[in-house]
């Protein structure tokens, strides 16, 4: 410590704010949105209901959820001029870069309703983000495979609509698969919020400068793209594929993960807060087994994931460090079963996290103690020096 400043690299022990949105207990492996256990919400809700809960603090009644769904339906389409942004991206541009760019570009289309102090502007921008995120994401996928963009179909529910925008082509409509839509619904719910994680703290940080909602969320998408955060689901499946191609030798990779010089980590393992099983990993693992038993998954990497978990959970290195599978460990197995390409996995994470980001941004704006986030540092550079003119350097 130097003076009043306490150094806390990575904010391991720093509470950056007070929040009433999500409760985590890392020791017990508890996750609740607005007091409701994630298990109950995953079992009984659809994702749009959970969006309402996170934004408004209460589960909606019939009238409220009907109005909310209708509100969202008004905003699912993208302005036709926004398609031009996609022409500028390389065909193999990462869809997270596209998502972050296009979300920020929304602020150029709605410049008349960006007032962060105007509740109706904030409401409309919030609805636009929730409604357009799947459209923006599906367009990014269609761009990458050279297929025409599919318009939203407002006769479908949130998840069905996303799947049809992803997989329909003008010549052949996507046949709605209820099981796939239900699996996607579950995944979006378990990703919907997670208190002050890296990307949510970023959204609050950027929003604290009075930057508009689109700019703040765009920054959150950028933070989520990192492989230590949301990018871990994509990295985890690549790791499981690598193990499969390498003969399925999980012991070799667990050994590598313990060797600091190898520069290799088991992606989808470990968590800053959960020092026991991530409750979301439990829910997703169970969903994998359900889909497997119903013949919807026949994926060798699921067996590898199960074996990897078994070996790691009995290995002292992981046990001592309380490293367990996290939300990203099994999610990729389901995304693959849904036919989602691996580069879109983190985009699905972002679509799920959208209500959480918005709820935190709004809570930060409304907090009585709201101030711009401006942490200090412990300076370790040179003491004062006299200037040296260039001829003397």
- Residue 104 vs 194, nearer CB to ligand SDX: 194
- Residue 255 vs 272, nearer CB to ligand SDX: 272
- Distance in angstroms (rounded) separating the CA atoms of residues 289 and 25: 26
- Distance in angstroms (rounded) separating the CA atoms of residues 159 and 45: 13
Helix (H, G, I), strand (E, B) or coil at 191: coil
Binding of ligand SDX by 269 (CB under 6 A): yes
Binding of ligand SDX by 275 (CB under 6 A): no
Provide the CA 154 distance to its chain's centre, in angstroms: 24
- Residue 252 vs 321, nearer CB to ligand SDX: 321
- Catalytic-role residue among 75, 94, 271, 360: 271
- Distance in angstroms (rounded) separating the CA atoms of residues 166 and 134: 9
Report in angstroms the alpha-carbon separations of 104 from 84, 101, 364, 369.
Answer: 15, 5, 20, 27
Count of C-beta atoms within a 10 Å radius of residue 15: 8
Per-residue contact track with ligand SDX, 176 to 215, x per CB under 6 A? Answer: ------------------x--x------------------
Among 232, 297, 301, 359, binds ligand SDX (CB under 6 A): 232
Burial class (CB in 10 A: 0-12, 13-18, 19+), 237: buried
- Distance in angstroms (rounded) separating the CA atoms of residues 19 and 48: 22
Catalytic (active site) residue 121: no
Question: Which of positions 115-174 make contact with ligand SDX (CB under 6 A)?
Answer: none
Q: Please work out, in degrees rounded to the nearest 5, the angle formed at the alpha carbon of residue 248 by the alpha carbons of 244 and 251.
A: 135
Binding of ligand SDX by 265 (CB under 6 A): yes
Among 32, 56, 151, 229, binds ligand SDX (CB under 6 A): 229
Per-residue contact track with ligand SDX, 292 to 331, x per CB under 6 A? Answer: -----------------------------x-x--xxx---
CA dihedral 277, 134, 51, 108 (to 10 degrees): 120
Binding of ligand SDX by 268 (CB under 6 A): yes
- Distance in angstroms (rounded) separating the CA atoms of residues 285 and 291: 10
Residue 382 has which token pair? 């040179």
Binding of ligand SDX by 270 (CB under 6 A): yes
- Catalytic-role residue among 191, 193, 328, 360: 328
Among 72, 192, 217, 257, binds ligand SDX (CB under 6 A): 257
- Distance in angstroms (rounded) separating the CA atoms of residues 374 and 305: 41
Catalytic (active site) residue 123: no
Binding of ligand SDX by 267 (CB under 6 A): yes
Binding of ligand SDX by 271 (CB under 6 A): yes
Catalytic residues: 271, 328
Per CB under 6 A, residues contacting ligand SDX are 10, 194, 197, 228-230, 232, 257, 265-273, 321, 323, 326-328
């Amino acid at each position: 410590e130097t003076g009043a400043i306490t150094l806390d690299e990575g904010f391991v022990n720093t509470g950056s704010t007070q929040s009433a949105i999500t409760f985590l207990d890392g020791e017990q492996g508890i996750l609740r949105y607005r007091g409701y256990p994630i298990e109950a919400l995953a079992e009984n809700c659809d994702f749009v209901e959970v969006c309402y809960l996170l934004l408004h603090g209460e589960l909606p009644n019939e009238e409220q959820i009907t109005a909310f769904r209708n509100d969202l339906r008004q905003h699912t389409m993208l302005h036709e001029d926004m398609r031009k942004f996609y022409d500028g991206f390389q065909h193999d541009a990462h869809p997270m870069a596209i998502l972050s760019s296009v979300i920020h570009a929304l602020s150029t289309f709605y410049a008349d309703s960006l007032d962060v102090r105007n509740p109706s502007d904030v409401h409309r921008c919030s609805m636009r983000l929730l409604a357009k995120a799947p459209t923006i994401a599906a367009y990014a996928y269609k761009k990458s495979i050279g297929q025409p963009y599919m318009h939203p179909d407002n006769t479908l529910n949130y998840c069905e609509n996303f799947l049809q925008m992803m997989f329909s082509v003008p010549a052949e409509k996507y046949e709605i698969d209820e099981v796939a839509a239900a699996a996607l619904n579950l995944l979006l719910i378990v990703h919907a919020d997670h208190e002050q994680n890296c990307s949510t703290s970023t959204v609050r940080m950027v929003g604290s400068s009075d930057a508009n909602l689109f700019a703040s969320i765009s920054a959150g998408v950028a933070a989520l793209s990192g492989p230590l955060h949301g990018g871990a689901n994509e990295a985890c499946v690549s790791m499981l594929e690598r193990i499969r191609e390498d003969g399925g030798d999980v012991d070799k990779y667990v050994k590598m993960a313990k060797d600091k010089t190898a520069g290799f980590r088991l992606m989808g393992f470990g968590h800053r807060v959960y020092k026991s099983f991530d409750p979301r990993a439990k829910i997703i693992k169970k969903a994998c087994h359900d889909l497997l038993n119903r013949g919807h998954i026949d994926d060798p990497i699921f067996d590898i994931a199960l074996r990897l978990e078994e070996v790691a959970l009995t290995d002292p290195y992981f046990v001592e460090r309380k490293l367990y599978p996290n939300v990203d460990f099994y999610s990729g197995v389901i995304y693959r079963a849904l036919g989602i390409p691996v580069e879109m996995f983190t985009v699905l994470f972002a679509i799920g996290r959208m209500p959480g980001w918005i709820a935190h941004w709004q809570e930060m704006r409304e907090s009585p103690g709201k101030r711009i986030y401006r942490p200090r540092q412990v300076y370790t550079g040179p003491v004062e020096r006299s200037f040296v003119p260039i001829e003397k350097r």
